Structure 1
Amino acid sequence: MSDDPQRVAMISVHTSPLEQPGTGDAGGLNVYVAETAKELARRGIEVDIFTRRTTGETPVVGELVPGVRVVHVTAGPYEGLPKEELPGQLCAFSAGIMQVGLSVPEDHYDVVHTHYWLSGQVGWLAADRWGVALVHTMHTMARVKNLHLADDDTPEPRGREIGEVQVVEAADRLVANTEGEANELIDLYDAPPRKVSVVPPGVDLTTFTPGSRAEARVELDLPVDGELLLFVGRIQPLKAPDMLLRVAAELLRREPERRRRLTVAVLGGPSGTGLAHPHGLEDLAADLGITDVVRFVKPVERAVLAQWYRAADLVLVPSYSESFGLVAIEAQACGTPVVAADVGGLPTAVGDAGVLVAGHDPSAWTDAVQDLLRDPDRRSELGRRAVEHASGFGWDATTDRLLAVYRQAIHDRTHSPIAEGEGLAGVPRAVIP
């Protein structure tokens, strides 16, 4: 088709697709950007991913795979700059992208696809400067997160909410992970329904596959005949990793004999507000008296992560807010049942192949986990259904839908608020400093 893009500029300001998911600010967004970019490249579409340079040793331009360049833009100090302080560097980041733009023809890119609101702010300017369509994926939204905060978490700032509203207004197309997220964009951000397209994320079905639980446990130095409960993700209140420890403690209170066969593994690193108490989970395990059954594991490469999923009897995803839940779909692709919070995109990710728990009452979560541990036949049936459910979420299917969004955005590109003489959120351009 004539509207097919030939070159795509992706922008991910705060985290690079080259970083290890599971720690710092690296998570599902990194996986999404990397996998969709690789799929686009397989179809002959060139992709440049712009991200912030975080070390002096990082090359300015690197290659993810042939056809996908990662361009590292200098904006602020290389290290020690938390995500919350990045809004102050958006001008520098935008200037860096504009410098790159000077070295290519004006019509070099066909579409700009931004990820997370910080990138949307930069992409808004870049798309306007280059005269191309802007597609934006929120990944998470301040107003949604603030509606579902953990008790000890910090609300997202007002400035982020305002920035998200501006990006919603400026984008030609908005990509939502699920129908629920699409409704949140419409209801909470007044996004025009015609601009919102649902594109579920995917899973690497060549890496995350079913396999032998016993072999996985031998490789990971776990008891072959024991029980393993697993949490995977960034360690922060939003993800509620403490729920895994509280469930384990309650299980052992109810059934003390289970202690000799139970292992609880937390795989991930501190992130976000979790950085304020990097050893909080270790302290909680000690307070609960379960240090002997808990293993804390640093983030691992994907092949090893798949082995952890295969080794587990159950994977818990107790997040307070989740736009989709890549951990859930990865675990299911490996044939492991998931117990997840009934929030956000998790019902879509889990489908009928797992168990959803309303709220965050440790007793209710323990009931769900205990019932499954006592019923191996049900776990086996859920595992079979999990593989079948996950098979419909390959990254190739995601990219098919994403390309359709790109075509629509290119075809229907609207005039930028900047070009129309308007500034941020409709403020006359002349008064913007």
Structure 2
Amino acid sequence: MISMHTSPLSQPGSGDAGGMNVYVLNTARHLARQGIEVDVFTRATRPSQGEIVEVERNLRVINIVAGPYEGLSKEELPTQLAAFAGGIVQFVKCERARSGFEGYDLIHSHYWLSGQVGWLLRDLWEVPLVHTAHTLASVKNHHRSETDTPESEARRICEQQLVDNADVLVVNTSEETRDLVRHYDAEADKVAVIAPGTDTDLFTPGTARNTEQARRDLGLPMHSKVVAFVGRLQQFKGPQVLLRAVAALLERDPDRNLRVIICGGPSGAAATAEQYFDLARSLGISHRVRFLDPRPPQELVTIYQAADIVAVPSYNESFGLVAMEAQASGTPVVAARVGGLPVAVAEGETGLLVDGHDPEDWADALAQLLDDDDSRIRMGQDAVAHAANFSWSVTASKLAEIYSEVLTAGVPACRGREAAGLEP
């Protein structure tokens, strides 16, 4: 596997670490537990990491030095594609020399930067390339907020190359298949839809005592209604939508006993946590909002259990892992009707979907659940059963089936030359 721009071992919720980290780490873990040996290549970001991290049996993370450890933004990483690819080639060469390593059977790249490296290595090693985009430039630009910086045309061109050249494109939902066909002229029969999972052993519904303890730990009033946001602090994820919706709710009813948790760190060159602190202050709701740094999964459970509702106001999500984790923890979700969120959230059963990002519409949806205890509690109970249909072991098993199919099909030795009428 290749995950160049972010390590699966990084803390999700800030910088470039998010749902993709969760996806890569968990699929790799469960593939490894099914007997598939997995190496995940990522760019080294600090010298103390070491080159090889043994995560568990059959799973290693390989840190490749490509450019300076710190100070490179995601937008600058294309300058290190050659160095990163060269580092992988050198690592494999050394592995062959020291242990008789016979090479990889297949490459699975994640995100377009990794895909460019995977495309090169696929042709060098003559093995299949499976690619997962996670997000697409054309789709992000189509759904971006007015203040978001558009994705570059260079990225879109690179994604088009991967759509044209990968052996299989793995996506989370049928909506992503339609996006690939609509925006990139993908061949639908080259796309495999495999839903992500969630850790239902970790994310579990809390008892009344768990909720009480969770609120105590977080310093939240016991009898308040609590809405939580978990994710990176960037316009595309929509924390500003939630803050404005809460302000609208409190303007309608200043005595409403409502508290908000915002858990995450800034993401993007221009993003800062202060801009969200300032927004809450300017809206007059800073005394109702608690900002928390990103938390590991073991601590996120506490936030989900402490909340009455988890809000996911993103402008697009390929699936919505936060929504699934919240539901597994027994908390209903109010989410934007975009991307894979209508799959992740069973509308009217485990949460509500909102069209658009108008704060007044979000205030209406939040109020509908906050003021109807019976429906909210029922949705929380149904959410647990809904989340149980999604597991990482099933995701990994379906990925393994795709790997077997593409390995059986084989890779043409001289891809592209025959189509151009050239001699091998």
TM-score (norm. length: structure 1): 0.92
For 2:410 and 2:253, the matched residues in 1 are separated by 61
Q: Which residue of 2 aligns with 1:49?
A: 40
- In the TM superposition, residue 110 of structure 1 has moved relative to its aligned partner by 1.2
What is the root-mean-square deviation in Å for CA atoms of aligned residues? Answer: 1.6
Which of 264, 267, 277 is 1:268 aligned to? Answer: 264
Percent identical among aligned pairs is 52
Which of 6, 17, 21 is 1:15 aligned to? Answer: 6
Q: Could you list the per-position Cα deviations for residues 362-395 of structure 1 after superposition, in whole angstroms to 9, with x for gaps in the alignment?
A: 1011001011111000001111111111001110
Q: Which residue of 2 aligns with 1:224?
A: 222
User: Partner letter of residue 314 of structure 2?
Assistant: S
For 2:180 and 2:330, the matched residues in 1 are separated by 33
1:65-214 matches, cutoff 5 A: 65-102=56-93, 103-104=95-96, 107-212=102-207, 213-214=211-212
Q: Which residue of 2 aligns with 1:420?
A: 416
For 2:289 and 2:219, the matched residues in 1 are separated by 14
Q: Which residue of 2 aligns with 1:340?
A: 335
Q: Which residue of 1 aligns with 2:395?
A: 398
* Cα pair 2:126 2:411 within 8 Å, conserved: no
* Cα pair 1:172 1:412 within 8 Å, conserved: no
Unaligned runs of 5+ in 1: 1-9, 429-433
Q: How many residues align?
A: 412
* Cα pair 2:241 2:313 within 8 Å, conserved: yes
Q: Which residue of 2 aligns with 1:372?
A: 369
* Cα pair 1:50 1:71 within 8 Å, conserved: yes
Tell me: CA distance 1:395–1:91, structure 2 relative to 1, closer, same or farther (3 Å).
same
For 1:304 and 1:223, the matched residues in 2 are separated by 19
More displaced 10-residue stretch of structure 1: 105-114 or 226-235: 105-114
For 1:123 and 1:399, the matched residues in 2 are separated by 20
- Find out whether 1:326 has 2:324 as its counterpart: no
For 1:422 and 1:220, the matched residues in 2 are separated by 63
For 1:246 and 1:187, the matched residues in 2 are separated by 33
For 2:418 and 2:299, the matched residues in 1 are separated by 50
Tell me: CA distance 1:343–1:422, structure 2 relative to 1, closer, same or farther (3 Å).
farther
Q: Which residue of 2 aligns with 1:59?
A: 50
TM-score (norm. length: structure 2): 0.94
Which of 357, 361, 371 is 2:358 aligned to? Answer: 361
Q: Could you list the per-position Cα deviations for residues 14-43 of structure 1 after superposition, in whole angstroms to 9, with x for gaps in the alignment?
A: 000110000110000000010011101111
User: Partner letter of residue 219 of structure 1?
Assistant: D
1:29-44 matches, cutoff 5 A: 29-44=20-35
More displaced 10-residue stretch of structure 1: 375-384 or 216-225: 216-225
Unaligned runs of 5+ in 2: none
Q: Which residue of 2 aligns with 1:387?
A: 384
For 1:203 and 1:278, the matched residues in 2 are separated by 28
- Find out whether 1:249 has 2:247 as its counterpart: yes
For 2:341 and 2:286, the matched residues in 1 are separated by 29
- In the TM superposition, residue 278 of structure 1 has moved relative to its aligned partner by 3.8
For 1:407 and 1:326, the matched residues in 2 are separated by 26
* Cα pair 2:31 2:397 within 8 Å, conserved: no
